[in-house]
């Protein structure tokens, strides 16, 4: 006598019926963000700190010729500079992916900006309080194109040396433009800046 027990399973068990079963898929939204600002303000660092992938950079060595044109007084150890763009990607939430495009800071590369910002929903303009005027080119660019942006005061040495409202006044920024402190080296600080921008863009759209 065979004592082996057999469990009978219906032939179609476990096979989803396309007529009765609904597969729920989470929709993912992607958006393009531009990271801009003056020369050596931290754009490449900003993108690299938060990117979930190895960031694409177009760094070139600063030569004696370029050093004549680029002010290295506040960044004497800077040896390279972006000549085309930086690129990174970050999952800001389960359903939100941001593609980050960093612009070159020097004026001689500004001709690339129109292509870089095409399709972007907003921008982060990084500012250095030691040379605020370097941010004005980016601000004018985005204002002329009516693109939402916020100003991120980069916390060099991890310190905010001036109150944000004092910086706003010095830059003559309208009250409607967000201004925040941001450490471009810190992933969570950069994520917070991106979240702030996305929320601002959504408010502008509604």
pLDDT (tens digit per residue) in 22-74: 445 679 999 999 999 998 899 999 999 999 999 887 654 444 444 444 454 54
What pLDDT sits at residue 16? 52
The answer on pLDDT for 113 being more than 90 is no
For tokens 């050093």, name the residue.
Answer: 67
Q: Higher-confidence residue: 110 or 10?
A: 110
pTM above 0.85, yes or no: no
Superfamily of chain region 29-205: P-loop containing nucleotide triphosphate hydrolases (3.40.50.300)
- For 189, list phi and psi in degrees, rounded to 5: -65, -40
Lowest mean pLDDT among 54-63, 80-89, 159-168, 171-180: 54-63
Lowest mean pLDDT among 6-15, 141-150, 185-194: 6-15
Q: For residues 189-203, give the mean pLDDT.
A: 97
The answer on pLDDT for 195 being more than 90 is yes
Indicate the SS3 state at residue 151: strand
CA dihedral (27, 43, 114, 180) positive or negative: positive
Residue 111 pLDDT grade (very low, low, confident, very high; cuts 50, 70, 90): confident
Name the average pLDDT for the chain. Answer: 82
What pLDDT sits at residue 25? 66
Encoded tokens for 115: 């292509």
Give exposure, 43-82, as e/b (b: 16+ Cβ within 10 Å): bbbbbbbbbeeebebbeeebeeeeeeebebeebeeeeebb
Task: Provide, rounded to the nearest whole percent, the portion of the chain with pLDDT above 90.
Answer: 61
Q: For residues 181-195, give the mean pLDDT.
A: 97
Q: For residues 136-156, give the mean pLDDT.
A: 96
The answer on pLDDT for 200 being more than 80 is yes
What pLDDT sits at residue 179? 98
Q: For residues 180-201, give the mean pLDDT.
A: 97
């Amino acid at each position: 006598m065979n004592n082996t027990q057999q469990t009978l399973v219906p032939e179609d068990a476990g096979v989803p019926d396309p007529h009765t079963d609904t597969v729920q898929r989470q929709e993912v939204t992607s958006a393009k963000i531009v990271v801009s600002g003056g020369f050596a303000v931290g754009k490449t660092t900003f993108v690299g700190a938060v990117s979930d992938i190895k960031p694409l950079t177009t760094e070139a060595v600063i030569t004696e010729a370029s050093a004549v044109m680029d002010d290295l007084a506040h960044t004497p150890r800077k040896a390279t500079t972006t000549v085309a763009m930086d690129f990174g990607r970050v999952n800001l939430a389960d359903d939100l992916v941001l593609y980050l495009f960093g612009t070159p800071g020097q004026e001689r590369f500004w001709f690339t900006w129109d292509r870089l910002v095409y399709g972007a929903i907003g921008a982060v303009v990084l500012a250095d309080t030691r040379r605020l005027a370097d941010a004005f080119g980016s601000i004018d660019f985005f204002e002329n194109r009516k693109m939402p942006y916020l100003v991120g005061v980069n916390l060099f040495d991890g310190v905010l040396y001036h109150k944000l409202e004092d910086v706003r006044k010095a830059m003559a920024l309208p009250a409607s433009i967000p201004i925040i402190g941001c450490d471009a080296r810190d992933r969570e600080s950069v994520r917070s800046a991106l979240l702030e921008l996305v929320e601002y863009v959504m408010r502008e759209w509604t």
